[in-house]
């Protein structure tokens, strides 16, 4: 078989075209797919980093708010030496809200929690008072949201004329 030059050139062109279509093109397509996956992954990572960077000031601001809240709560926890001022404080808030204190009595502290080296106790204070429902409402709102870490555990109201008879069990948290 004698091939002329022209036919040989056509056969080489066809062979090169077939090799390109069958071998080289699929490899290039595979490389393009792999590169597109890597690009998508990198874009996702860049987006995540941008979101993290954008949220950092908010996180810092929230951290500062939490630190301020912790400092405020720490200042509301009394030490055992300040327990006497607690009853004075309760009487003062009652007076400000036109609630007549008949009697206050504190009972011995009970263990509450130990955090690190600091132990905390609960100090129950029983209060007997007279007043109107509105005066009681203002008193309870102020007692639980002001200077000390106080919680009203029990509230008993007995109707009376002209005022209600009120019994409260208030618990304070103190550091030992």
Give the model confidence (pLDDT) of 94-148 as tens digits. 999 999 999 988 888 888 888 888 888 898 999 999 999 899 999 999 888 777 8
Confidence of residue 49 (pLDDT cuts 50, 70, 90): confident
Q: Judge if pTM exceeds 0.75.
A: no
CA 125, CA 64: separation in Å to the nearest integer?
Answer: 34
Which residue in 133, 130, 127, 173 sits closest to 154, CA to CA?
A: 127
In the chain, domain spans: 1-76, 78-175
How confident is the model at residue 1, as a pLDDT?
Answer: 61
CATH topology of domain 78-175: Alpha-Beta Plaits (3.30.70)
């Amino acid at each position: 078989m004698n091939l002329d030059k022209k036919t040989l050139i056509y056969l080489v062109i066809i062979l090169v075209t077939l090799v390109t279509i069958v071998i080289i093109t699929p490899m290039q397509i595979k490389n393009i797919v792999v590169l597109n996956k890597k690009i998508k992954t990198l874009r996702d990572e860049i987006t995540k980093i941008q979101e993290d960077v954008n949220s950092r000031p908010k996180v810092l601001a929230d951290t500062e708010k939490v630190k301020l809240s912790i400092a405020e709560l720490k200042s509301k926890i009394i030490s055992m030496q300040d327990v006497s001022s607690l009853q004075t404080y309760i009487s003062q808030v009652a007076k400000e809200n036109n609630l007549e204190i008949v009697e206050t009595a504190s009972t011995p502290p009970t263990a509450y929690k130990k955090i690190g080296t600091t132990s905390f106790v609960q100090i129950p204070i029983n209060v007997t008072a007279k007043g109107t429902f509105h005066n009681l409402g203002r008193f309870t709102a102020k007692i639980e949201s002001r200077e000390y870490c106080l919680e009203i555990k029990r509230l008993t109201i007995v109707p009376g004329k002209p005022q209600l008879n009120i019994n409260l069990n208030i618990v304070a948290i103190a550091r030992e």
